[in-house]
Amino acid sequence: MLGGMTETMNDQQPRMTTHQPPTSRSASSGVAGRMSHGVIGLGEPRPVDVDIVIPVYDEEQALEGSVRALCAYLYDTQGTASPFSWNVVIADNASTDSTWAIARGLHERWPLQVRAMHIDRKGRGFALKVSWLSSRARVVAYMDVDLSTDIRHTGRLVLPLLRGEADLSCGCRLDPRSSVTRSWTRETISRTYNRMLRSYLGARFRDAQCGFKAMTRAAAGALLPQVRDDEWFFDTELLMKAQRMGMRLVEVPVHWVEDKGTTVNIPDTVAKDLRGMRRLKRESAVRLLGTGGDEGTGVADDSSGAHAMTGAVPYGRFRASQNGTTASTTVRQDPSSPASPLSWGETGQRTLPGSLMLTTAPGTATPIDLVSKGSRR
């Protein structure tokens, strides 16, 4: 399907005429790319609606098939499931196999749809920082190369951000509406880890590590310089820093299937996650001593029946506009979810039947928060 659509896709998105920066040329492929501080970029960042980044390290087996599948889906559903312009960005972080050669080939085949970056430093978080901060798209997203999360959820991930309804979005495998297939070990580790984040750090999101996230470019510019981790704890720190900055989050229920061939070193990842949690706890303690405030983890019912945020946000509220006005903020469930109360299951696991996001009056500045109801102490 994808093999015969090169000319059609190239006609779909007109070429841009831009000044070409200094290039580095591969003798084997003849492909020219921009080189800066250990990063080679093939293809110019374009002002599309969404850049979808696929971070990869030694993924020669999965990369081509996954990129072809994702591009075919986005192209074939243009105007329906993906009524937005897009680029797929392959972010190769120091692969030692043929991953970069495959990425170059995909860019050569579809130069207006696929960009590629080679970063001479390992770390998924670092690859995302480099690719997102160099983007010109309105929204930046990422998904794991194994496509464990069904790509048919892509529209639900990015459209709330394009409509201005939220600042971040992420897949949530612990949503009761999600369909998840994974081993008992992975399931237990995930639930335990997310429970620790809530009890130890006061997290108000449900699934820190799902490899299916997006944010607006404005949010990325404000948030990414605050994130220190460059590896697997990047996702958790990203969401915790967003919470402290008062950003809005939409959690998307997903169909997710574990990749049996995953190369993730679980014991090493768990150890690094625990160290990252301790660091965030220390940072929080230092910040609270300096401000005299609290983290603002509670929500309270107001007279209208909506849920208004309480508590100070040490970083100050991230605002969608800078006109100095303030709008009242309310919480509602994702319209796709049925109305039902938030509760705790018999095992102590929080049950959230619907994702929460915030709404404000149109045309006003937006004080925004990551929130959940009934945070357990």
Catalytic entry in 235, 273, 334, 369: 235
Residue holding tokens 């998904």?
A: 143
Task: Give bridge partners of residue 256 from the DSSP assignment.
Answer: 149, 180
CA distance 91 to 130: 9
- Signed CA dihedral, 278, 284, 288, 290: sign only: positive
Yes or no: say if 180 and 187 are a contact pair by the CB < 8 Å rule: yes
The answer to whether residue 235 is catalytic is yes
CA distance 345 to 236: 24
CA distance 273 to 118: 26
Helical (H) or strand (E) element with 236: helix 234-244
CA distance 63 to 68: 9
Yes or no: say if 299 and 308 are a contact pair by the CB < 8 Å rule: yes
Task: Give bridge partners of residue 299 from the DSSP assignment.
Answer: 309
What's the distance, CA 116 to chain centroid? 19
Kindly report the backbone phi and psi dihedral angles of residue 280, in degrees, each rounded to the nearest multiple of 5, phi listed first.
-65, -35
What are the strands, taking DSSP E only, across 65-196? 86-93, 114-119, 139-143, 168-172, 179-181
- Signed CA dihedral, 234, 239, 243, 247: sign only: positive
With a CB cutoff of 8 Å and minimum separation 6, the contacts of 124 are 55, 57, 93, 230, 231, 232, 234
b/e burial code for range 298-309 (CB count within 10 A of at least 16 → b): bbeeeeeeebbb
Catalogue the active-site residues: 235
